[in-house]
Amino acid sequence: MANKSLKDVIKLEFSKCAKDPVHFMRKYCYIQHPHKGKIKFNLYPFQETALTSLRDNDYNVILKSRQLGISTLSAGYSLWLMLFHNDKNILVIATKQEVAKNLVTKVRVMHDGLPGWLKGNCVEDNKLSLRFSNGSQVKAISSSGDAGRSEALSLLIIDEAAFVDQIDDIWASSQQTLATGGGAIILSTPNGTGNFFHKTWVGAEAGTNGFNPIKLHWTMHPDREQDWRDKQDQLLGEKMAAQECDCDFITSGYTVVDGTTLQWYLEQQVQDPIEKRGFDNNYWIWEYPDYGKDYMISADVARGDSTDYSTFHVIDVETLAQVAEYKGQLPTKDFGNMLVNTATEWNNALLVIENANVGWAAIQPAIDRDYPNLFYSTADLTTIDTGQQLKKRYDLKSKEKMVPGFTTTSKTRPLIISKLDTYFREKACTVRSKRLIDELFVFVWKGSKAQAQGGYNDDLVMAFSIGMWVRDTALMLRQKGMDLTRSALDNISVSRGSTGVYSNKPQGNNPWVQKGPKGDEDLTWLIK
């Protein structure tokens, strides 16, 4: 050792750092502490284990508690890759550009604190990126659907992934560039279930998606005892503390319907349909029509873009059981005809169609074909009628200004969402559809507005919410001596067999064949 020159010592130490990121960070990396200033990054055992996992696995998903230094650890790992490997392109994505920039700042702080013989030769250094002469760089951007699409990535880091909007699109757009040998670190505290981060974690635990799972519970920190955890309840509130500390997906997030309730529905009620119909197999059936029962169909019509779906539910009015469901991307006119035909088949079901945007185009076939049980209301829902227009055509210019369909506005939307939550919380409805439950897992509060997380849909949720509200309103009016539901369904013209149960035998009047000016139009292709 005494005979070794300083050059030999540095060469040996450089080699140790290049092989082992734990050695590199433990011995040479400094961080900026919020109170103590610049201090050495003294790794805890759980951090060393996590860092080794990052080195040994290309794809890592980290489920973590708050304040465990994992973002800083990811920054240190990025610096290690950049210094000891040529042409590494690292992209950091977060909910906001400022958050992503913070990780790049941590890389810069660590690099600035290194001894001169370890430092890289910086050729670009700004707030959002750091690049060395060996071709390696780290860059920060905010989340967007095409983030990473044009990047030739070596490593993709998604910070607080459970809270990133459009993360499914981000992940999809990055696959082509990662497929040539890149890797990913996806880290977050939980934010409910059913989103990309949750699905990635579940797949990693099951060993089905190629990700290495790293779980970092608050108890892994050697300086934290139960009194620390109790204090988090006081500081953050119980729900936020559970999300930030406990690595528990079910209790985390701000889903409109409580996650534990949704899990109960998933385990106790969800089942495969007995039949899938339609050219796209998207019309799911759990029960066949019983001619002794009354049904309601509530529908939400797609706006027309590729990410939106037209949906409807068939609901047993008495039991509030979901007996059928559709979610697809039919052209609006075809969807309108499908609604009329389906409603006719289900005992001339009360047909409730959301009339915003292109909803009117789906309602028009019901009007053109004189469907006898179409839902009418005023825009503010103060006046609701389904029976009157059966006796005479409603004058849309009358004082009541009754219009066909359900009108969702900033005033009516909170009403139907509240009714949805009530029925689920009380477990008063029967839901068989996993598609609906999956949407509810990502149907969250954003401020005071309930909506799907970015990149997800709430089309089935909205259709079901409308159905719950209409059904509940019917019961309220019944109590006041106005049997809304029965007055509508008293007009049913469907023949009821002696058994009162649906039969697949051909009917004399096929609802899937409609008469038109150019003759009969066969619409059975919609359900075959």
What is the per-residue pLDDT for 90?
Answer: 94
For 493, counting Cβ atoms within 10 Å of its Cβ (0-12 exposed, 13-18 middle, 19+ buried), the class is: exposed
For 434, counting Cβ atoms within 10 Å of its Cβ (0-12 exposed, 13-18 middle, 19+ buried), the class is: middle
Question: Any bridge partners for residue 214, and if so which?
Answer: 62
Average pLDDT over residues 455-481: 78
**Phi, psi for residue 452 in degrees, rounded to 5:** -70, 145
DSSP alpha helices (H): ranges in 274-411? 332-345, 359-368, 388-391
| The pair of three-digit structure tokens given for residue 176, joined into one six-digit string | 């082509």
Domain 9-245 and domain 259-493, same fold? Reply is no
- pLDDT of 278 higher than 90: no
For the entire predicted model, the pTM comes to: 0.70
| CA–CA separation, 58 and 381 (whole Å) | 55
| The pair of three-digit structure tokens given for residue 14, joined into one six-digit string | 């450089």
What is the per-residue pLDDT for 528?
Answer: 61
Per-residue pLDDT tens digits for 93-134: 988 888 888 899 999 999 999 999 999 999 999 888 999 999
- Domain locations in the chain? 9-245, 259-493
Q: Considering the chain, what is the average pLDDT of its residues?
A: 84
What is the per-residue pLDDT for 200?
Answer: 94
What is the per-residue pLDDT for 487?
Answer: 52
Multiple choice CATH, 259-493, 3.30.420.240, 1.10.357.10, 2.60.40.1180, 3.60.60.10: 3.30.420.240
- pLDDT of 314 higher than 90: yes
DSSP alpha helices (H): ranges in 207-300? 226-236, 238-245, 259-268
Per-residue pLDDT tens digits for 501-525: 433 333 446 677 766 666 677 777 6
| CA–CA separation, 497 and 491 (whole Å) | 17
DSSP tag of 354: B
What is the per-residue pLDDT for 37?
Answer: 81
Query: Mapping DSSP to helix (H, G, I), strand (E, B) and coil, where does residue 338 land?
Result: helix
Most distant pair of Cα atoms in the chain: their distance: 107
| CA–CA separation, 320 and 318 (whole Å) | 6
Closest CA to 190 of 254, 281, 258, 109: 254
| CA–CA separation, 196 and 412 (whole Å) | 30
What is 9-245's CATH superfamily?
P-loop containing nucleotide triphosphate hydrolases (3.40.50.300)
Do residues 465 and 417 touch, judged by C-beta distance below 8 A?
yes
